[in-house]
Each structure stands twice: as C-alpha cells, then as structure tokens.
Amino acid sequence: MPPTQGADAVMQELDGRDQRIAELEAENNRLKRIRDALITRVESSAPHKPEPYAAFEHSVILAEQVRERTEALNAAMDELKASNKALNRARDEAETARQRLGDAIESIADGFVLFDHRHCLIQANSRFRSYWRSAGLDIVEGTAIADIKAAAFSSGLIVEEHTDPAAEGSVYLLSNDRWVQMTERPTLEGGLVVLYSDITDVKNTETARREEALAQKTRLLQSTVDNLSQGVVLVNREGVPEIWNERFLSLIGLDAGSISADQTFTQWMASSDVPLLSPSTPAATQRGAIEEVHRRPDGTVIEIKTHPMPDGGFVNTYTDITERYRYAETLKESERWIRVVTDHVPALIAYVGADQTIQFCNKVYEAWYSPGGEPLLGRSLSQIHSPELYQRLLPRMREALAGQSVTFEFEESNSRGEQCYMLRSYVPNLDSHGEVVGFFVMIRDITDRRRTAVALQQAYDNLEQRVKERTSALSGLNSQLRQEINERAAVESRLRDAKLEAERANLSKTKFLAAVSHDLLQPLNAARLFTSALLEHSFGPRAEGLVRSVSTSLDDVENLLGTLVDISKLDAGVIKPDVTAFDLRDLLNNIAREFRQMALADGLRFSFVPSSAVVRSDSQLLARILRNFLTNAIRYTGNGRILLGCRHRGDHLLLEVWDTGPGIPQDKLTEIFQEFKRIRPAGSPADKGLGLGLAIVDKIARMLGHRVTVDSVEGRGSVFRVEVPLGKLEPDNVPKEMDNPGFDNSLNGARVWVVDNDRAICSGMETLLEGWGCRAVTAVSLEDLEAKVDVAGGRCDVILADYHLDNGDNGVDVVSEVNRRRAVAAPVLMITANYSNDLKQHIRNHGYLLMNKPVKPLKLRSALNHLLQRR
C-alpha cells in the first residue's frame, strides 16, 4: 500500500474511534442523570412513607435498580477507559505512520509532491523544493498545481518542455541544465501524486550513444563508398567535398596528397582534365541534363552523373565505361556491316518497333517510300504511308504485334505511280519474357510473277478455244511431247540422285557432329572446371555473382550442345544400347533427389513413389528418358504438383511422370515428338530449349524397343509414360558406373595425377583440385608425367586420365603402363566424351571408374571420395 493510502486509513480509524467515545460519554451522562433522579425521588418520598413493608419492598426494588444502573455505569466507564486507551494508541500509531510517511517521502531520490482532491499541495519533499530554491522561489502548502506550473514557466525554472503522447510523462529542461521527467498518479480520494525524476544522466548517455551511432554510420558510409567500383564524391551546400573515395581521385587524375579538405570542389576539378559537372553548372542548366560522358587523353571513357540533394548539396558519380564504350563502337561497326549487307539485297527490309516507328531500313526500302531522300528512321508508318494504304495494312500489323508471323500479297503504287504487287512478310520480335517488342518487315516485288499468273489465268480462260485450235496440231507435237517426257524422266532421275546425295551429306554431317563431340566438349569442360574453381574462392558478392552467371551460362551451353550432340549421335547410330537387368531403386532415387530441388526452386510440389522392381533396359538411356520427361514437366508447369512413380502392367512396368501444367491439345500429341517442335501455351514465358527433348525420347525408346505414350487434358495437365519389360537380376550384375556416391571432406592432402592432352583442362583441373585441398600433378602424356614425378615409387592416391590423347595414345594404355611399374596399383577415374558401349565395357574390364564429359565438379568430388575410401 502506498504511504498516502496508509495515512488515510489511519485517519479514518481515528475518526471512527472519536465518534464512538462521544457516544459512550453521552450514554454515561444520561445514566448519571437517571441515578440522580432516583436518589432524589427516594429522599423526597420520606414524609409520605407508606406502610413499613411496602416502604421496605420499594426500597429493595429501588436498591436493585440502583445496583443495576451502577453496574451499567461502571461497565460504560470501563468501556470508556478502554476506548480512551485505544484512542491514545491510535493517535500514537497515526503519528508514527505520519512520521514514517514523511521519512519515506523525504528518502525518495526524486522530487515528490502530494496534492489533495482539489489539486492543492499537501506535502512535498526537500528534493522538489530544491528545484525552486535554485530559482529563488518557495512553494507553500495549499498552492494549486496550475499555479505551480505557471510559476515554473514564468520564473524561468523550466527552459524547455517535451511532451510525447506515447511516453509516460512530460520531460523538462531546467535552467540549471538538468533534465527532469514528470510522472503523475491519481489517488483513491481524487488527489494526485507527482514524481519529478532527474534523467540528466540518461539523456547524456542517450546523446552519447546517438553521436557514437552517427559516427559509426559515417564510418560505415565511408567504408561502403571506398568499396564501390564507381568514383563517388559528396559535396555539401557550401561546395566543399565531405565524402569521397580513392576511385574518384584515380578516375579524375588527382593525387590524394595534392588536395585539401578546405578547398572547394571547383578548386579540385580545376586541377583535373575531367570537366566540372554539378546541378548548377551552365551545361546542366541549359540542357537540363545531369550526366555527361568524357573521354580522357589516355583513352579512358568516364560517365559523369550529378545527383542534387534536398539540402542544397549534390553527389557526383564517375564510372569507367571504357569497355562499354568500345562495345558500343563495336556494335556500331556491326550495324554498319549489317546495313552494307541489307542495302545490297533487292528486297525491302525494315524493322518496326511496337509503337509502329521505323527503327531500321535498308536503302531499297528508303528509296521506295522516300524518293526525295527524307530520312525514315523514327517516323511512324502512318506518316510514311498514305492514309488509305495505312488503313489497309493496319490489321496485318496488329496480327504481327500480337505475335503472329504474317505473309500476304498486296497491291500498291510506287513513287512513280506504277501499280506493283508486293509480297509482304511481318515476323514478330520477342524479348526474353516473350513480349512482342516489334516486327521485321520484308517486302519483295512480285509484279512480274503476278502478271505471269494473270496471263496464265487468262490463258486458262481461253483454254477451250485454244484446245480446239490446237487439236489439229497435236499429232505433230506427239513426238515433241515424248521427247519432253524423256527429258522429264531424266530430270527426275537426277533429282533422285540429288536427294540421295543430300541424304548422304546430311548423314555425313550427323556422323561428323557425333564424332567431334569430344573436341566440342573439351573447351566447355575446361571452362566449367575454371568456374567451379573460382566458386571455391571468395572475391566479393559482385565477383561471385558474375562467376555464378558464367557458370549458369555454361550450364545452358552444355545442355544445348549436349542435346545437339545426343540427337546427332542417335541419328548417326553412334549410341548402342547396353541392355541389362537392374534394380530401379538407385536410378529412381537419384533422379527424384535431383529434380526435387529443381521443382522446389520453381515453387512446385514434387512427389515420388519409389520402386525396387527389376527391369531390362539400358540404365543410362532410360534415365535420360525420365530426365527429359521431368525437365519438360518443370518447364511448362507454372504451379501445382509433379509426380514420378511406377505401376505394373503384366510383364511390363510403366514409369510415369504426371504434371498439372497447361496441357497439350489432342491434335498436337504426336507433333511434340518431332524435332524442333515446341507447343508453348499462350502467355507462358520463353524458354531456352530447342524442342529436341521429346525427339530424343522417341529415338531412344525406338532404339530400346520401349513404348512411349502421352495423355493430356488442356487446363489440367499431362502424363508421359514409358513401358519397360520386367527382368531378373543376374548374380554378377554390378553397377556399371557410380551415379551419386556419398562423400566427406577426406580430400585434404590427397595426391592426384591428371593426364589430359588439353593444357587448359589440365590447368582448370589443377586449380579445382587444389581448391579442394588436393596436391595435383598434371601432364599431357606419359613422357610428361615421367618428367614431373617418380611414376614407379612416387605417392599417388588417384589417377585421373582422359581417354583420347595425342599421337594415337589413349588413357587406358597410359594408366595401365603406370600401374604396371608400381608395386601397388593406384585407383583410376577415366574421363571421356565417347559414349560407346564398347569403350564402356573396355574400361569396366580394367576395373576403372568411368565419367563422361563435360565433368560436373560435384560428381567428380564424389567419385574421388569414393575411390579414396575404397583403398
């Protein structure tokens, strides 16, 4: 209970006791009066005494009444004495409580003030009164709270007042530079308790903390500016630089020792060959520009931008755009060559933007629509064509801007007024998001062909008459017709020979592409090794982002190149199936683990029903079919779910991939398995595929003898199935290659020998392996390896060898020779871009692990851990 409430309770108890004592004293006085009246009555009745017995009886009764009254009076007197004692004790306790309350209030470190229900001062401690003594005032009891506040402001005791509705009370700055916080609390009787807490130390601490935070932010800002690739300088409203970085000084050609912080920005720039640019410079004011490009004498091109700030200062940024400038110059040169080529094409060629303005045209187009030589670039088609011609072309242009390729014949007049027939083609141009940003225009003059067609039509109309006229001459022409038939037969024979030659050339091309896959994948493999090695190091967020972008681009190139090589190998018959019986468990688990991450990255739910069924097929080719199914499912499913599972059907097993994508029209279900055919729903984003995924599936399925089917409902989704025969495991059936072995961090200190005829791959492999903690030795041949290490006695934990080496050598022979000389053979990982089954069996017979190019770093690291753990 607060001290004020305890004092009030004691006062209430004392008032109740005083009232009880007053009542008892009144009762005692009344009893005394009764007693005196009885005594007086007895004494006054003596002259008229009745009979002796009656008088005695009356005296007895009277004596009894007197005794009773006397006892009651004594009891009242005892109660009165007890009440007096209680009253004295209560008064002592009240005085003690009041004294303790005063001591407690006085012991409070804060200023304490107690107001009654009329908000008049009752009690205050010395801490509160000390505030007023410093102001030369004295606050007495009974002063109203409003008068106290008025006196505080009028006397100058309070210098500032800060009130926040969200805070507990008001904060005042006193004339002695102390901060006081006022807190009010109401009492039960309607009074008010006010505390004045000195918060000067808290305010000083808060101020110091804010100043430290501001200094920290200033240091952080300077550190951020120092790490920017751009030159940055911040100039205050007085024109003096406040913040700048070393990049700014290097770009404008100034030395840090030659400048002073007291100089203005104009004085700084006077010593530089870079022009001064600010929001108030005449160039920016006249042109309304806030940026400028400057080329320095050393050839460096700098882009200068000025950014005004609300306080009157400004921020200038200086960016080295030399590479971008050179790239722009290169683009201009490329555009010049494109224009040279298109200007010599007899057709009318132009590019029209989405706003129907000419953004490019060749000289033929310009001469046709602007015989006076007026430039057409930037002009709208509505300005170039006549209103009638423009209205006739408008529907076709709208179709092109809607994403449709349009080809049509059109009659129009040229600049000389001649009627010409033009064959127009409008081809839409799509950006990376599938949006139409313009269309290409190609126009050819087909007037002669049209006139020939008209003449043929006229000849056809007069055919009957002409037949009658020439019937008589047919007999003379029979021999000529026979001769023409013979000539046509000869032409058809030559056409068949040409077709056969073209097919042989196409097959030769396909075989060539399949054969050179090793050379195509060599530089790609080296680039992947270098980017993976770079990702092992920390170069900062920007550099890491660039490396990851390069890695992503290499993935895209690898996928596209791999797809082209695969389709070529399938066409050329290079790939031969290696059909064996195997358990589906590992194959499906690895594929599900791989595509679950891809589906989650696109916001899709991925479900997988595992199976341990044994089937007869080529595990790699079957995995390729399922991967192509899942890749298409993820690519075309915007949201929803993807399911991979199996179901038995007689002596076969159906492997199915379900999706909730847009579905495929029924008339397109066979077309999607053709090469370079893609059914992209309207509104779906553009993708980087070539339309070969399902074509590869179809060729692999035909090669394996598996049946592939598809069912789809537009708007609900699709299901792709491949039917595989069931099989039975043989006792010696072992995995042909390691798919996803587990790995730990046991590569530190491992000695790895690398043999590859491509020095770029050797360099990339060495960088990657050393990033994993290995000690790598690279060589391009056996002789090169012998010159670097002791082949027979040197420590070697793993040998990585490329199969195709120079001078007719191969990795299998080189590794066999190395292990022949060693007392203990080293584990071998053979790397090749050759997918033939004969080579796989040859490498497997030697007990070596096989990995195909391009090498994926994660899989390479897993394979190395597997080989090291198996030793």
Q: Which of 160 and 734 is assigned the larger pLDDT?
A: 160
Residue 611 near residue 584 (C-beta atoms within 8 A): yes
Select from 153, 192, 136 the least CA-distant residue to 169. Answer: 192
DSSP letter (8 states) at residue 846: T
Residue 568 reports pLDDT greater than 80: no
Burial of residue 715, with CB atoms counted within 10 A of its CB: 0-12 exposed, 13-18 middle, 19 or more buried: exposed
Element (H, E) at 246: helix 246-252
Domain boundaries 523-725, corresponding CATH code: 3.30.565.10
What pLDDT, in 10s, does the model give residues 2-59? Answer: 444 444 554 566 566 677 777 788 878 887 787 777 777 656 655 545 566 666 677 7
pTM, 2 dp: 0.34
Q: Are strands 849-852 and 828-832 parallel, antiparallel or unpaired?
A: parallel
Closest CA to 713 of 757, 660, 639, 677: 660
Q: In the beta sheet, which residues pair with residue 162?
A: 171
pLDDT in tens, 256-279: 777 777 788 888 888 788 888 888
Hey, what's the torsion of the CAs at 271, 273, 279, 284, to 10 degrees? 140
Alpha helices (H) along 111-177: 126-135, 145-154
pLDDT digits (tens, 9 = 90+) for 504-521: 655 555 555 544 555 555
Percent of the chain scoring above 90 in pLDDT: 5
Distance CA 761, CA 529 (A): 7
DSSP 3-state percent helix, strand, coil across the chain (nearest 5)? 50, 20, 30
Distance CA(464)–CA(224), nearest Å, equals 91
Domain 325-459 is found in CATH 3.40.50.20: no
Tally DSSP H helices, then E strands, for the chain. 25, 28
Please check whether the domain covering 108-198 is classified as CATH 3.40.190.
no
Q: Which residue has the higher pLDDT, 288 or 192?
A: 192
Looking only at the bridges linking them, the beta strands covering 158-162 and 170-174 are antiparallel
Which structure tokens are listed for 166?
A: 């969200």
Structure tokens belonging to residue 830: 């053979």
pLDDT tens by residue, 718-763: 899 999 999 888 765 444 444 444 444 567 888 999 998 888 788 8
- Take residue 808 and report the two structure tokens written for it: 């007719």
Average pLDDT score, the chain: 77
What secondary structure does DSSP assign to 584-650, as a single string? HHHHHHHHHHHHHHHHHHTT-EEEE-----EEEE-HHHHHHHHHHHHHHHHHH--SSEEEEEEEEET
Query: Which DSSP letter does residue 346 get?
Result: S
Q: Write the pLDDT tens digit of every residue in 197-250.
A: 877 877 788 778 877 877 777 777 777 777 777 888 888 888 888 888 888 888
Q: Bridge partners of 723?
A: 654, 707
Q: For residues 317 and 805, what is the distance between their CA atoms, to the nearest angstrom?
A: 53
Of 402 and 346, the structure prediction assigns the larger pLDDT to: 402
Please check whether residue 835 is in contact with residue 621, taking contact to mean a CB–CB distance below 8 angstroms.
no
Structure token pair of residue 731: 């006792």
Rg from Cα positions in the chain: 52
317 residue type, one letter = T
Beta-bridge partner residues of 753: 777, 799
pLDDT of residue 287: 44
| Same CATH fold assignment for domains 325-459 and 751-870 | no
Q: Are 723 and 710 in contact (CB under 8 A)?
A: no
pLDDT tens-digit map of 391-441: 888 898 899 889 888 888 878 776 666 778 888 889 898 887 888 889 988
Both structure tokens of 667? 């008339």
Domain limits of the chain?
3-105, 108-198, 229-320, 325-459, 523-725, 751-870
Going edge to edge, which strands form the sheet with 348-353?
358-361, 348-353, 436-445, 419-430, 406-413
| Top-tier CATH class for 751-870 | alpha beta
| Distance from the first to the final alpha carbon of the chain | 81
Superfamily of domain 229-320: PAS domain (3.30.450.20)
Per DSSP, the three-state class of 417 is coil
Q: Whose CA is closest to 744, among 859, 868, 865?
A: 865
Mean pLDDT computed over 693-698: 78
Confidence of residue 452 (pLDDT cuts 50, 70, 90): confident
Encode 804-834 in three state secondary structure: ECCCCCEHHHHHHHHHHHCCCCCCEEEEECC
Q: Does position 834 have pLDDT exceeding 50, yes or no?
A: yes
Closest CA to 161 of 147, 179, 184, 188: 179
Which residues lie across from 193 on neighbouring strands?
114, 185
Amino acid, single-letter form, for residue 727: G
536: left (phi over 0), alpha (psi -120 to 50) or beta: alpha
- Residue range 572-587: average pLDDT? 79
DSSP category for residue 238: T
